[in-house]
Amino acid sequence: MKKSTIPVKYGVLIAIGLIAYFLLLSLVGVQTNPAFSLGNGFIVAYGLYRAMRDYKLEKGSEFEYQKGFMAGLFTGFNATLIFTIFFAIYVTNINTNFLPEMLANWSSHYHVGVGIVVFVAAIMGFATTFVLTLSFMQLFKESWNIKKKHHSHPIKA
């Protein structure tokens, strides 16, 4: 049985979408506004949905809940790892003013470094992946409901 390439393919496509969206926000100058993070969720949701749908189509009648769930997780984890690496490079080499600009919006007495911010970005990506994968698998799993045949007539009182 051949291994599916869907998690890698869609993981890369989701990461490209996230990077392009982030760079577009940077061009406009709103990349530090947390409200625009909602766009990340839509990008990841759309990519995960397509990946899991294509995986189910690829497997056909051999589709299993566990394998579909793992395909969704691997897709999102691949995308998160790629985006996290890009983000770490961006805040340390490309735009070194990003972190101070972003943290200026938060009132904090703690020293927050690049490592913590990159770690939080990764955890947010993993959490989003997990929740969306659980949600989408409800659409793709086979139902256990038994189809009822209504041949009986109601009782008259």
Q: Quick one: pLDDT band at residue 1, thresholds 50, 70, 90?
A: very low
18-55 pLDDT per residue, tens: 999 999 999 998 887 778 888 999 999 999 999 999 99
Cβ pair 19, 80 in contact under 8 A = no
CA distances from 130 to 31, 41, 57, 61, 114 (A): 25, 12, 21, 24, 24
Query: With b meaning 16 or more CB within 10 Å and e meaning fewer, what string describes 30-55?
Result: ebbeeeeeeebeebbbebbbebbebb
Q: Is the pLDDT of residue 8 over 80?
A: yes
List, for residues 79-133, the tens digit of each pLDDT value. Answer: 999 999 999 999 999 988 888 777 776 656 667 778 888 898 899 999 999 999 9
pLDDT for res 146: 65
Highest average pLDDT, of 72-76, 102-106, 120-124, 147-151, comes from: 72-76
Yes or no: say if 74 and 9 are a contact pair by the CB < 8 Å rule: no
pLDDT higher for 147 or 12? 12
pTM of this prediction exceeds 0.85: no
Residue 52: its pLDDT value, please? 93
Tokens 């109601």 found at: 154
